[in-house]
């Protein structure tokens, strides 16, 4: 790759997109949170938790774009998602949907 400087430029351009920055932020923050808590010992679960947080951040980035909010908000959303984690996000969304859809 050193002989192809165009490849590095394309990679840099892709990573400078707020959408991907938010996903990367979610992955990094969730990994740091999991390692800091030291409650999870399975490397497989740690890996998948980080990937799911990154995927949720991509979903949030799409929502941010759809709502016509500033794209830089994706990084903050990624950090928040990574900090809260998959379980907390799942509970928040379930409660929100439960309030909006009156299941009786």
- For 68-85, write each residue's pLDDT tens digit: 999 889 999 999 999 999
> How far lies 96's CA from each of 16, 56, 102, in Å?
32, 16, 11
Neighbours of 43 (CB within 10 A): 8
**Measured between alpha carbons, how far is 104 from 88 in angstroms, rounded to an integer?**
24
Task: Please write the tens of the pLDDT for every residue from 84-102.
Answer: 999 999 999 899 888 878 7
Task: Please write the tens of the pLDDT for every residue from 12-69.
Answer: 887 888 888 889 999 999 999 998 888 878 889 889 999 999 999 999 998 999 999 9
Name the residue ranges covered by the structural domains of the chain.
5-100
| Backbone torsion region of residue 38, taken as left when φ is above 0, otherwise alpha when ψ lies between -120 and 50, otherwise beta | left
**Measured between alpha carbons, how far is 93 from 70 in angstroms, rounded to an integer?**
23
Return the closest-CA partner of residue 23 out of 49, 59, 47: 59
């Amino acid at each position: 790759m050193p002989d192809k400087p165009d490849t590095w430029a394309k990679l840099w351009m892709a990573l400078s997109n707020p959408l991907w920055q938010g996903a990367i932020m979610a992955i990094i923050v969730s990994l740091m949170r999991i390692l800091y808590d030291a409650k999870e010992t399975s490397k497989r679960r740690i890996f998948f938790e980080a990937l799911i947080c990154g995927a949720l951040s991509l979903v949030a980035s799409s929502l941010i774009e759809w709502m016509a909010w500033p794209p830089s908000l994706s990084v903050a959303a990624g950090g928040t998602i990574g900090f809260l984690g998959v379980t907390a996000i799942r509970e928040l969304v379930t409660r929100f949907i439960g309030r909006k859809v009156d299941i009786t």
